[in-house]
Amino acid sequence: MDSIKAPRGTRDVLGDESWKWARVLDVTRGVADDFGFKEVMLPIFEHTELFSRGIGDTTDVVEKEMYTFIDKGDRSITLRPELTASMVRAYLEHDMRHLSQPLKLWGWGPMFRYERPQKGRYRQFAQIDFETLGASNPLADVEIIDSSMEIYRRLGLSNLQVLINSVGCPKCRPAYRDTLKAYFESSAHELCDSCRGRLDRNPLRILDCKQPACRALTDNAPSVIDSLCDECREHFATVTQGLERLGANVKLDNRLVRGLDYYTKTAYEILSGDLGAQNAVCGGGRYDNLAEAIGGPHVPGVGFASGVERIVITMEAQGAYLGNEPKPDVYVISSVQDGTYDAAVIAHELRESGLSADMDFMGRSIKSQMKIASQNGAKFVCVIGDSEAASGTAGVKNMATGEQETVPRGSVVENIKNKIS
């Protein structure tokens, strides 16, 4: 019988990688604290309607990529493909509108999209997600973009490009949609199959098609910026000027439209030069009508999400500091089979005193245990060989200097603690 493998598009994050994730999350939590975002933990599955109404029925995410099933109570349930709709749902459900505004929330966890897997693109992936709810002020957009950039700055990432655009609002977008449709209709035969389909349903999405023929056509397409209403134009100007004042290196990209329908006004992405084809490390923007789309009152919002796998890939490619792989302070080595109690007691006491300690359970020789201690990067070893067991002592060896001494069993912990401090 074939052994069972993890499903396509998922990956096991093992012990040689998980500590890198811990660094990403530590830094993210630090940025969240410094910007005043509170962590929330939301369900991994939601009613399907939340996403079909929130993200938009004609988006790839809703049309093709959702993991949807009928549960035992006959409800249509979907594994969340993103966090923004859930954030807004939670805000409405817990009446956060009546708290002091805005609400700045952040969260992280696995998301699910049935996409074609490739490097940096998975069917289960993790996002960190920041949302500011209840503020229409463009300075909230500036802060959101700044908070995402601050995470990458603290992680030591470089070679990133921040692209920004405005996608307008329901007042000015319909006219732009029509202009764009008319523009593409005259050369519809040159568009790829998917874009020909988008022509009626969502012509803005043609702007970010990666097919060379479509890209060539979009080069001369009318710019959304020229169609913005006064409110959207002013909003965009304040956002771009604000970012300039912060010294942020941001590039305008009139083709940036994003793949989720809820965006209004600001849309932005951060691309990494070290990711290959799936180069977006972060995406976000404003979504002033999302709350209404899912049945709530008007609640303006702006936020971003960033893929943890893509952050880690970028960090690895750039040789950024990935954090320290946890290593034991002490590896406790014992030669006496029934003396393993001694090793267990010493390891217990070391841990109780605040040090990290590890020991052998496999009955290995002293030599093999020493090898493992060295492979595990232990700073010290504590050896209870036959003679130490007989004399109630233990050998303490500094693995970096090779220095060793024999100490009474009762003072092992103190001895090592003094040496480490």
Q: Which residues bind ligand HAM (CB under 6 A)?
A: 82-84, 113, 115, 120-122, 125, 127, 129, 131, 259-260, 280-285, 287, 303-307, 309-310
Q: Give the nearer residue to ligand HAM in terms of CB position, either 235 or 379.
A: 235
**Rounded least distance, CB 371 to ligand HAM, Å:** 38
The closest alpha carbon to 331, from 368, 294, 299, belongs to: 368
Show the DSSP H helices in 274-307 as ranges. Answer: 290-293
**Rounded least distance, CB 126 to ligand HAM, Å:** 8
DSSP H or E segment with residue 48: helix 48-54
Distance (Å, rounded) from C-alpha 382 to C-alpha 82?
Answer: 49
Q: Give the nearer residue to ligand HAM in terms of CB position, either 147 or 335.
A: 147
The closest alpha carbon to 7, from 83, 81, 117, 82, belongs to: 117
Distance (Å, rounded) from C-alpha 156 to C-alpha 218?
Answer: 35
Rg (CA), the chain: 28
Which 3 state secondary structure label does DSSP give 363? coil
Q: Give the nearer residue to ligand HAM in terms of CB position, either 259 or 323.
A: 259
DSSP H or E segment with residue 251: strand 250-252
Q: Give the nearer residue to ligand HAM in terms of CB position, either 152 or 176.
A: 152
Distance (Å, rounded) from C-alpha 126 to C-alpha 109?
Answer: 5
Q: Give the nearer residue to ligand HAM in terms of CB position, either 87 or 347.
A: 87
**Rounded least distance, CB 19 to ligand HAM, Å:** 20
**Rounded least distance, CB 125 to ligand HAM, Å:** 3
Distance (Å, rounded) from C-alpha 212 to C-alpha 234?
Answer: 33
Amino acid making up residue 90: A
* Maximum alpha-carbon separation in the chain: 93
Q: Give the nearer residue to ligand HAM in terms of CB position, either 178 or 292.
A: 292
**Rounded least distance, CB 142 to ligand HAM, Å:** 15
Interhelix angle for 138-154 vs 18-35, to 10°? 140
**Rounded least distance, CB 58 to ligand HAM, Å:** 15
**Rounded least distance, CB 317 to ligand HAM, Å:** 14
Q: Give the nearer residue to ligand HAM in terms of CB position, either 80 or 409.
A: 80
